[in-house]
Structure 1
């Protein structure tokens, strides 16, 4: 009997037996190697849902995952036992948004790990073959997992369109923010001024390429003598993240909002936003970016392992949720291993 982490309601995560459903046409069975605990998983745990996606019945979270194939996939050039990543976003493919190149905005999406669709915090999962992503043999299970959040970061930077050597403010140095930081460096951004309330995340931001890292947006204001910066990318889970991004932007600046706020609410000062005449974009998931994500990791241009701070077994999954919800010091990105911790992690 397989087991899985179930979210029953806000604050209620449990490990219980999981009855694996039968596979459907076009699907393949994957043995889950590793699954990341994402900020959106945490929102389901803390708030009971994200917008209209609410927990109506116990479901299995986990959309960032890698696994081993249980059969040959000759059409993909893959054999049984190969490590693969999985794109969790199954867009309809025929709506106006999909046809215009925006599958990340498809209103009919079936997203693995978002209720009511069970995710990968379990031992085995059926996935559409079309969502299998081949990865280099040198990749570890966690490397393959991190392609999904790295894809989110790439999409955010695509929307931001940083100009060569342009100064950028990064509000929030969690996993997505730290990946955005590295993609910005690769994209040719200039000075990057970051802020985050947690000292360990500020230290990691400096290690991964930030020029300065402060505790709040007030530091960015001080460093720019109150003028702000032409480009701001927000990647927090705070309702105040939008407000802080506005305050970090200069008049006529651009703001890209990536984070999902706790409680599904933003706090913004309308006058400050209007008087700056800001260009604001909202970033959601990603488009077709996996090839670039794979290349960035394979070429060593983005260090995804540096973002992983903790590793848990499946049985420890509920504790991982509790610790992240409590905002425990030292946590950045947690990885869950249904088959047991890798030998090197102890």
Structure 2
């Protein structure tokens, strides 16, 4: 018998014994090498659910993960012990959305780490072989974990379609925002104006290429002489995120909303958005982006290691959730190592 981190409800995370289920045809067993604590995991922890995906019984979170193969996969050119990443989005492949190239919008998805489907904050996990993402030997477990959130950032920038040297406002400098910042740079965006209430995240945004950083959207208005930016990407957990993105946008501008607000509700004065005639898109998960994510990390165009601020063992995972939920200064991205106690030293 192994163990896992279970979420029982809002602010209730516990490590307890875990009986690994039997594998199904087409599944592969992985020893979990590392798993990231994502913003959506925090929403399950803080709110007890996200929209219709509610915690109705204890479940194991964790969808950003990498693992070591427990068996050979000769058809894939993979051997036992190889490190692989995993795309957690197990779409049905048959609905209109999947068939039109949008598996991230599949209403029949079985998403690893979203209730009721257990995730990877445990020692071993069965995953469908089709979700396995091969890696070159140069990748570390931490880098492999970060491919999933990087994929979310790539999808958001794909939706945004930044123009060459276009000025962009970035609202929110958490892990997804900081990855979006780097992908925007790689995509040829111009001056990036980034805001976040936490000073350590603003400092990191500046190191990763933001032209200016500030604590609130009011500073973006000041820097642009009240005009705003033609393109805004929002990656916060705030109910005010939509409002702030609108306030950062110029007349006729475009907005891509990536963040999930606490409480699953936005606050938005309608006139501000309507009178600007804005074009607004919502980002959800990602499409087929892993090859580009791997290339961006392998070539050094995106530095995922710079975002990793803390490391925890599985036994320490409840504390990791608590610290992130309380917005503890210094926290950016935490990685949990279910099988290696030596990794549980906070950075």
TM-score normalised over the length of structure 1: 0.99
Distance 2:344 2:83 in 1: 18
Q: Does 1:252 align with 2:252?
A: yes
State the partner residue of 1:7.
Answer: 7
Aligned-pair distance for 1:340? 1.8
Distance 1:135 1:247 in 2: 41
Distance 2:94 2:56 in 1: 28
Distance 1:334 1:273 in 2: 35
Distance 2:80 2:87 in 1: 19
Distance 2:150 2:73 in 1: 25
* C-alpha distance after superposition, 1:243-278 (max 9, x if no partner): 000000000000000000000000111000000000
Report the CA distance shift for 1:344/1:119 in structure 2 as closer, same or farther (over 3 A).
closer
Distance 2:305 2:341 in 1: 15
State the partner residue of 2:139.
Answer: 139
State the partner residue of 2:266.
Answer: 266
State the partner residue of 1:158.
Answer: 158
State the partner residue of 2:187.
Answer: 187
Distance 2:341 2:41 in 1: 21
* Kept after mapping to 2: 8 A contact 1:34/1:338: yes
Aligned-pair distance for 1:75? 1.2
Report the CA distance shift for 1:166/1:47 in structure 2 as closer, same or farther (over 3 A).
same
* C-alpha distance after superposition, 1:176-206 (max 9, x if no partner): 0000000000000000000000000000000
Distance 2:183 2:343 in 1: 30
Distance 1:110 1:261 in 2: 23
* Kept after mapping to 2: 8 A contact 1:311/1:341: no
Equivalences for 1:227-238 in 2 at 5 Å? 227-238=227-238
Aligned-pair distance for 1:339? 1.2
Q: Does 1:295 align with 2:295?
A: yes
Report the CA distance shift for 1:92/1:202 in structure 2 as closer, same or farther (over 3 A).
same
1:178 counterpart SS class: helix
* Kept after mapping to 2: 8 A contact 1:91/1:104: yes
Q: Does 1:211 align with 2:219?
A: no
Equivalences for 1:1-346 in 2 at 5 Å? 1-341=1-341
Report the CA distance shift for 1:71/1:39 in structure 2 as closer, same or farther (over 3 A).
same
Aligned-pair distance for 1:341? 4.8
* Kept after mapping to 1: 8 A contact 2:312/2:345: no
* C-alpha distance after superposition, 1:127-163 (max 9, x if no partner): 0000000011000000000000000000000000000
1:220 counterpart SS class: helix
Report the CA distance shift for 1:344/1:90 in structure 2 as closer, same or farther (over 3 A).
closer
Distance 2:343 2:64 in 1: 21
Distance 1:22 1:204 in 2: 43
- Extract unaligned runs of 5+ from structure 1: none
1:315 counterpart SS class: coil
* Kept after mapping to 1: 8 A contact 2:316/2:344: no
Distance 1:329 1:106 in 2: 37
1:165 counterpart SS class: coil
* C-alpha distance after superposition, 1:210-266 (max 9, x if no partner): 000000000100000100000000000000000000000000000000000000000
* C-alpha distance after superposition, 1:279-316 (max 9, x if no partner): 00000000000000000000000000001100000000
- Extract unaligned runs of 5+ from structure 2: none
1:13 counterpart SS class: strand
Report the CA distance shift for 1:42/1:63 in structure 2 as closer, same or farther (over 3 A).
same
